[in-house]
Amino acid sequence: MIRSPYRFRRPGFTLVEILVVIAIIAILAALVVGGVVSFMSKGPEIQTRNDLLQLSTALDKFYAKYKFYPPDRIKLCANYSQYNVVTDKASLAYIGTMWPNLGQFVNVPWAGGTAIPATGIVLEGEQSLVFFLGGPPVGGTTPGLMGGFSLNPRDPISLAGGVDRERFMDFDTGRLVNRPTLTYPAGHPFPSMFDRSDKRMPYVYFSSGRFGYSATLNSWGVAPYMENATTFHQKTRFQIISAGRDGLYGPGGVWTQATAGSMPLQGRDDMTSFYDSKMGSP
């Protein structure tokens, strides 16, 4: 029997080959994990940007119908006679433009059936945003579905069943939260839409409305942003602002892309409807 000069070798890997494969797997794993971590860290930012886009689209639909953007402050009284025709004339102008058939109304259920104080109730921007896009609240002191506005021109606020209704945006009830302030009772049923940040802060809203922006600070200590000392960003539209992951709003006022790097610390991770990056990113 003649033996082959070549011995049969059992297939396998050398130690060097195994180490090379392990090194390649480790590199690929690091790249994948790094990508996942980066994506997850940007997840809330992407979701916030999507919220801002949806809200902006809904506001443009509102404008297409009424030719102005929802006000960032409005006083609601159940009865026309409870308004001061001098100090509350802006609120009356908005109501009269949207619902001219209401006339000198009596017992309007703005709060979805929950009684409004005789002195009325003032909605700030973040509440006004949800109210005008979603309609009167349903659910009393627990935030619930916004009921939409009735298409009955003489009774647009009624939540009576069997009536065609209109909403400019369908809100996720899990994102609607009541907040106490100095200007209205805690737990009153006009909710705010909270952003995606860890601190769950509301999207603040400023509007050019029918009368232009006001530089007055809201109860969060925030003012709208300006291109210069006299001109607001999106001067004929609106501004929506997220406080970002730190839950702190920037101060508003003059801001440009060129000065973004000097943005105060609390506003650097804010996101807005008029700038595609964080406010502290040039």
- What is the reported pLDDT for 184? 46
Q: Where are the domains of the chain?
A: 51-194, 195-282
pLDDT at 5: 55
- In sign, the C-alpha dihedral spanning 264, 268, 272, 274 is positive
What is the structure's pLDDT at 39? 44
Tens digit of each residue's pLDDT, the chain (282 residues):
555 555 555 566 687 777 888 888 888 877 776 544 544 455 778 999 999 999 999 999 999 999 999 999 999 999 999 999 899 999 999 999 999 999 999 999 898 877 888 889 899 999 999 999 999 888 655 566 788 999 988 889 887 777 788 999 999 888 888 765 544 444 567 889 999 877 788 999 999 999 999 999 998 899 999 999 999 999 999 999 999 999 999 999 999 999 999 999 999 999 999 999 999 998
CB atoms under 10 Å from CB of 90, counted, come to: 16
Q: Which two tokens stand for residue 68?
A: 């102005």
Phi-psi region of 140 (alpha: psi -120 to 50; beta: other; left: phi over 0): left
Strand partners, 104: none
Q: Which residues contact 24 (CB under 8 A, 6 or more apart)?
A: none
The Cα–Cα gap between 68 and 2 comes to 100
CA distance 150 to 166: 6
Report helix, strand or coil for 93: helix
The separation between CA 165 and the C-alpha centre of its own chain, rounded to angstroms, equals: 23
